Structure 1
Amino acid sequence: MELFTGAYGDNLQAEGAADRNRSMQNALDGFMNGLTGADRAALERVALTVVALEDTQERAWAGHRQNEVHYSGSMVKLLAMYAAHTLRFFSRQLILEQHPPSSNAFFLGLESAFNGKIRQKTPNRITLQHGSDDTKIVPDYRTVLEPQLDASGRPIGVEFTFGYRTQLREMLLQQQNAGAAASIHGVAFGFMNAKAGDDGFFREPTQQGIWLAGDYLGQWTAVRVASVNDGQVAQATTTVDMARLVTRMFDGSLESGSPTDLVQMLAGGGRSWFHRELLWPNGGLSATHSKIGIGPLKPNSAGVVHKVVSEALKAHDANRGLDFVVVWQNLKVPADPTRAELERVSRMVEATVNGFLPTV
């Protein structure tokens, strides 16, 4: 069984393609060019990617600062969710291939089949920091996974343990950092980032993509990459790479599980920043699923700590019956975001979505 199967093909149209995505890109560019004053100052630094969820192999999209790596706070916890579901998927495959006779044989089989490959694929910066400590490199299988047994005690399936599923829900639905730390510890820095890199969601040569090597509580020593907005950070992404991952979550094209299974872990759209501040539904646009983010930047030269706000969501345009993946980040605010601050971003998103021309 091959745990690391190589990068997915790009599910977005080639950057700069002169076909359907130009309508969205032109709408976004036109909106940005029309900004002045405080609106321009606030939104120019915001990174955004909007993907149209049409049934096409390469999806239309538009972006602003989409390739910049930014510290993004809690939104990047989505990578831990993805890693957990991927681990469960391959554990089920192991049962089908090896037919272990007992729970203990199942876990020993995981260690034998997976650990060496994970160590090999773990990014060098993580190995340099934690290479002698396997708890940071390979998953804690017995904490994360529970084999389902037949009457003879033979594993026939795998689910998350009750405790680990609870921690995932705390991380994703209740926005709790304690649940995030436990979820991240379960899949480990090594496996989580090795899989993200092998799948093409992080590129080591350019240091671009989705990176999560901090546990939000500081219990494990963080491993950092460079970001545009906050120097060296442990929780970062580009909006376009997060959009690639989230798009596959919603369309069911990830190897790690059905869209229903993955999406149920995301908060309902009512928890979107835009719904919280009563900006949506607006003109028929609403969020159906969401993972928000907020986190502190390092103190500036005057010692002031600002926050950055982010979100990955699925948006539904009820007027046209269309769905979109929307990922945005790096909205800089002095405290929790206000309605006025979020309204600027919502207008940026709405202008882009409204510019999309469906395939006839």
Structure 2
Amino acid sequence: MQNALNGFMNGLSGADRTALERVALTVVALEGTDERAWAGHRQNEVHFSGSLVKLLAMYAAHTLRFFSRQLLLEQQPSSSDAFFLALSSDFDHQITTATPSTITAQHGSDATKIVPAYRTVLDPQLDATGRPIDVEFTFDYRTQLRGMLLQQQNPGAAASIHGVAFGFMNAKAGDDGFFRKPTQQGIWLAGDYLGQWTPVRIASTNDGQVAQATTAVDMARLVTRMFDGSLESGSPTDLVQMLLGGGRSWFHRELLWPNGGLSATHAKIGIGPLKPNSAGVVEKVVSEALKVHDNNRNLDFVVVWQNLKVPADPTRAELERVSRMVEATISGFQPTA
């Protein structure tokens, strides 16, 4: 795949080269093997990526629910109040300790920005005696998650992020290897898309200091593990369901896919404004995380791309360049069997 991607990039010229040279891309083959084939272009660069990074809030919420279910089994609290007390007693110190120092420097005196709002996020399911026997999301919180992911709504994103807090989200990203504190590279989400909480920023290649950023390769790692079920969040069912609807893909919206070859079965799109350039012009960057099905060969891939710069919402012609980049890379994959 890497050879195919390199060959495609080397063959570009003119406007195609200008547009695609700065696009970051990672493609991972989901063939059943521990040594997954992958290819990338600018995949280790940290880019401001708009709403694509909301995937970290989704993962953090499901991980918190998974941890709370484990606590329920181990401690068997006698009531809802005892359950929430146990959560705070067991988790708060660990989360605070693991939170990146940039966040604690900004918000360390305000625990609401560091540790989750447990009662907002979690709804213990009680038996007839009032003893918790399971944990689900509260109705309101699940509604906000769906608003963030399915309706692409920033109010839903802000509520979802406030529920799991900057500290827990980014501590978990670091624990799982999706963010490296020494180099400040990986998936970073420390802004709520509405400016209700003071953002905490890291350096990016495309937009200076930003609060919502990722590398293509780290987002691809997260999404790949969502689909292979190896994340520390229990069953991947809910995570996968939140991304259903490949028709939301930029490529499907502009009728570039499906075209008999590739189709997106799951998608999370991103778009957001960059800071004004030296001429005062505000460009947007477009991004996407996909599960892609190769209909001709019955193969699946994770695709993450970002940093497509456009003056407004992306046009069919602008997206068609990226689709060709993705298609060329996938076509280079050779199954092991």
Deviation of 1:98 after TM superposition, in Å, equals 0.4
Q: Residues 221-236 of structure 1 correspond to what in structure 2 (within 5 A)? A: 221-236=198-213
Q: Residues 1-360 of structure 1 correspond to what in structure 2 (within 5 A)? A: 24-360=1-337
> 1:59, 1:231 → 2: CA distance?
33
> 2:50, 2:242 → 1: CA distance?
18
> 1:206, 1:159 → 2: CA distance?
36
**1:117 is matched by which residue type in structure 2?**
Q
Per mean C-alpha deviation after superposition, the further-off stretch among 277-286 and 317-326 is 277-286
Poorly superposed stretches of 4+, deviation over 3 Å: none
1:193-250 residue CA offsets vs partner (Å, 9 max, x unmatched): 0010011100011111000000000000000000000000000000000000000001
> 1:260, 1:121 → 2: CA distance?
27
Q: What are structure 1's unaligned runs of at least 5 residues?
A: 1-23
1:234-293 residue CA offsets vs partner (Å, 9 max, x unmatched): 000000000000000011111202222211111410000000000001232100000000
> 2:118, 2:73 → 1: CA distance?
17
> 1:88, 1:314 → 2: CA distance?
24
The two structures have a TM-score, normalised by structure 2, of 0.99
The two structures have a TM-score, normalised by structure 1, of 0.93
**1:285 is matched by which residue type in structure 2?**
L
Determine helix, strand or coil for the equivalent of 1:135: helix
Q: Which residue of 2 aligns with 1:18?
A: none
**1:150 is matched by which residue type in structure 2?**
D
Q: Which residue of 2 aligns with 1:6?
A: none
> 1:62, 1:223 → 2: CA distance?
31
Determine helix, strand or coil for the equivalent of 1:116: helix
> 2:201, 2:269 → 1: CA distance?
21
1:65-94 residue CA offsets vs partner (Å, 9 max, x unmatched): 000000000000000000000000000000
Determine helix, strand or coil for the equivalent of 2:242: coil
* % identical equivalent positions: 86
> 2:234, 2:157 → 1: CA distance?
21
Determine helix, strand or coil for the equivalent of 1:117: helix
Q: Aligned pair count?
A: 337
Deviation of 1:58 after TM superposition, in Å, equals 2.2
Whether the 8 Å CA contact 1:172–1:267 is kept in 2: the answer is no
**1:237 is matched by which residue type in structure 2?**
T
> 1:162, 1:55 → 2: CA distance?
36
Determine helix, strand or coil for the equivalent of 1:257: coil
> 1:257, 1:100 → 2: CA distance?
21
Determine helix, strand or coil for the equivalent of 1:264: helix
Deviation of 1:133 after TM superposition, in Å, equals 0.1
Superposed CA RMSD in Å reads: 0.6
